Structure 1
Amino acid sequence: MNVGGSVVAEQLKPAVTLTGTAKDGSGGPPIGVVDIGESERSYLCRVSLPGLKNNESNINCEIERDGKVHVYGVVTGGVLKDPWTMYEMKVQELCPSGRFSISFNLPGPVDPRLASPNFRSDGILEIVVSKPVSPPV
């Protein structure tokens, strides 16, 4: 915390673990950049998955009660097809094809039953998950 009692931005950066092709990728836009927001009742996290398509990448998201989030899937792209031609990539600056996983912790516990992941068309996985409801006193 700083002198005014507010949280310093560096303290809010999540520890992110990358494996598979998400870790090995060297060029292009990075997979696995994570932003986290918090409200009184829920968390919002956005995970960057550039170049992935939900219908081709088998993207899955698992959320644990302690706030641990796991995102995994498959990057496709070694061969590109259009209706007339198949292209084998000779230069690849985007994340290489293969399986990937991304894990990070939210700032506190959550109720995984009240999660709503949404993979947007711009390559962002947006997840809203509720904090646990405390019993009335």
Structure 2
Amino acid sequence: MATDKQAGSPSPPGGTEATRDAAFVEMHRDPRFTELKRRLYVFVFPMSLAFLAWYLLYVLMSAFARDLMGTVLFGTVNVALVFGVLQFVTTFGIAVLYTTYARRRLDGLATQLREELPAVTEEVGR
């Protein structure tokens, strides 16, 4: 199997792979990139912990609170079924929240950094 270099493919825009890699490393040192990562983590970690706690509650209640989970609310719908459906609702809710958060707090800065990356690549290649 031939690699890209063996197949004669052109080098990446902005120079060699080493130059491109150096540009990416340099971008990681940019304080705006650090801020972008911080903003992402501010949303992702608490939301992940909250969802995992919610899921763990569902699992533990299914295992240890069978009487409560088996309580019929109406017709054939019991508490366990409502909890299960709410897991899906929560998942979609988090997706919507993340989309809103990303548009407001992440996308602008990410776009700015991504657009500057070719310029950084050219500067590193000099």
Greater C-alpha radius of gyration: 2
Higher strand proportion (structure 1 or 2): 1
TM norm structure 2: 0.20
Higher helix proportion (structure 1 or 2): 2
TM norm structure 1: 0.19
**Higher-RCO chain (CA-CA 8 Å, sequence separation at least 6):** 2
